[in-house]
Amino acid sequence: MCELQRDIKFEDAMKRLEEIVRSLEDGNLSLEEAIKLYEEGIRLTKICNDILRSVEKRVVLIEKLNGEYIQDDITNDIYGGLGQKE
């Protein structure tokens, strides 16, 4: 996977990350190959984090719309009070 697309599925990105980790841990790569895989892994990690943040925001919104959301300090810090009950 040379070029990473933003529309990659979370599960596919995680699977590829696991492959990268195994390859790097095996230690049978040249320095250049290892660096390329590391860069790909960093990009995949950012994509996964972005997907997770988006899903978390959706969950908070769904809970808020259903009146089930309970605010806590962590969520308030992350989402700026998005899930606050009135």
- The 10s digit of each residue's pLDDT in 35-72 is 999 999 999 999 999 999 999 988 888 888 887 666 66
Q: Between vectors from CA 52 to CA 18 and to CA 69, what angle results, nearest 5°?
A: 145
Structure confidence at residue 20 (pLDDT)? 98
Residues 6 or more apart whose CB falls under 8 angstroms from that of 37 comprise 20, 23, 24, 29
Please state the rounded mean pLDDT for residues 67-83. 58
Please state the rounded mean pLDDT for residues 6-20. 93
pTM summary value: 0.68
User: Exposed/middle/buried for 58, CB within 10 Å: 0-12, 13-18, 19+?
Assistant: exposed
Phi, psi (degrees; rounded to nearest 5) at 85: -80, 145
pLDDT tier at 32, thresholds 50, 70, 90: very high
Please state the rounded mean pLDDT for residues 69-77. 58
